[in-house]
Amino acid sequence: MGAPEPRPRPAVESAEPEVRIGLAVGARSATIGGTGDLVVTDPSGARLGAIPAGEQWRVVPAGGGVALQPPGRVTPATGEVVALIAADPAELVRLNGRPYRGTVEIARDTGGLTVVNRVPLESYLPGVVSAEMGRRGPAEFEALKAQAIASRTYALRNLNRRAALGFDLHAGVADQVYAGSAAETSEGVEAVRQTRGLVLTHGGAPIDAFYYSTCGGRTADGVEAFRAAARPYLRSFADVDENGQAYCRISPRYHWREEWSGDALRTTLRRTLPVATGVAPGRAAEVRDVWVAERTASGRVGRLGITLSADHVMVEGAAVRRVLRPSSGDLLRSAAFTLTSTRTGREITRLVAEGSGAGHGVGFCQWGAVGRSRAGQGVQQILAAYYPGAALQRLY
Q: How many domains does the chain have?
A: 3
The verdict on 276 and 291 lying in the same domain is yes
Choosing from 324, 339, 356, the residue where a domain stops is: 356
pLDDT over 70 (residue 76): no
The verdict on 232 and 371 lying in the same domain is yes
pLDDT at position 60 is: 93
The verdict on 231 and 351 lying in the same domain is no
User: Does residue 122 form part of some domain?
Assistant: yes
pLDDT digits (tens, 9 = 90+) for 214-270: 999 999 999 999 989 999 999 999 999 999 999 999 999 999 999 999 999 999 999
User: Does residue 267 form part of some domain?
Assistant: yes
> What are the b/e assignments for 58-91, b being 16+ CB within 10 Å?
ebbbbeebbbbbeeeeeeebbbebbbbbbeeeeb
User: Does residue 205 form part of some domain?
Assistant: yes
The residue length of the chain stands at: 396
User: Does residue 216 form part of some domain?
Assistant: yes
Average pLDDT in the chain: 93
The verdict on 89 and 70 lying in the same domain is yes
Is 119:101 a contact under the CB 8 Å cutoff? Answer: yes
- When pLDDT is averaged across residues 158-176 and rounded to a whole number, the result is 95
pLDDT over 90 (residue 167): yes
Give the domain extent around 43. Answer: 17-144+167-192
The 3-state secondary structure of 313-356 reads EEEECCHHHHHCCCCCCCCCCCCCEEEEEEEECCEEEEEEEEEE
- When pLDDT is averaged across residues 21-45 and rounded to a whole number, the result is 93
User: Does residue 152 form part of some domain?
Assistant: no
- Regarding pTM above 0.75, the answer is yes
- Name the strand (E) or helix (H) holding 374: helix 366-374
The verdict on 113 and 49 lying in the same domain is yes
User: Does residue 53 form part of some domain?
Assistant: yes
Is 215:238 a contact under the CB 8 Å cutoff? Answer: no
The verdict on 62 and 5 lying in the same domain is no
User: Does residue 155 form part of some domain?
Assistant: no
User: Does residue 149 form part of some domain?
Assistant: no
Starting at the edge strand that comes first in sequence, how are the strands of the sheet with 198-202 ordered?
205-206, 198-202, 391-394
Choosing from 325, 341, 356, the residue where a domain stops is: 356
The verdict on 45 and 172 lying in the same domain is yes
When mean pLDDT is compared across 90-104, 245-259, 281-295, 353-367, the lowest value belongs to 281-295
Which residues, other chains included, contact 233 with Cβ-Cβ below 8 Å and sequence gap of 6+?
200, 202, 207, 387, 388, 389, 390
pLDDT over 90 (residue 48): no
Is 394:197 a contact under the CB 8 Å cutoff? Answer: yes
The verdict on 131 and 31 lying in the same domain is yes
The verdict on 120 and 179 lying in the same domain is yes
pLDDT digits (tens, 9 = 90+) for 183-213: 999 999 999 999 999 999 999 999 999 999 9
The verdict on 237 and 287 lying in the same domain is no
* Terminal alpha carbon distance of the chain: 32
The verdict on 99 and 188 lying in the same domain is yes
Is 224:362 a contact under the CB 8 Å cutoff? Answer: yes
The verdict on 240 and 134 lying in the same domain is no
pLDDT digits (tens, 9 = 90+) for 319-354: 999 999 999 999 999 999 999 999 988 899 999 999
pLDDT over 60 (residue 4): no
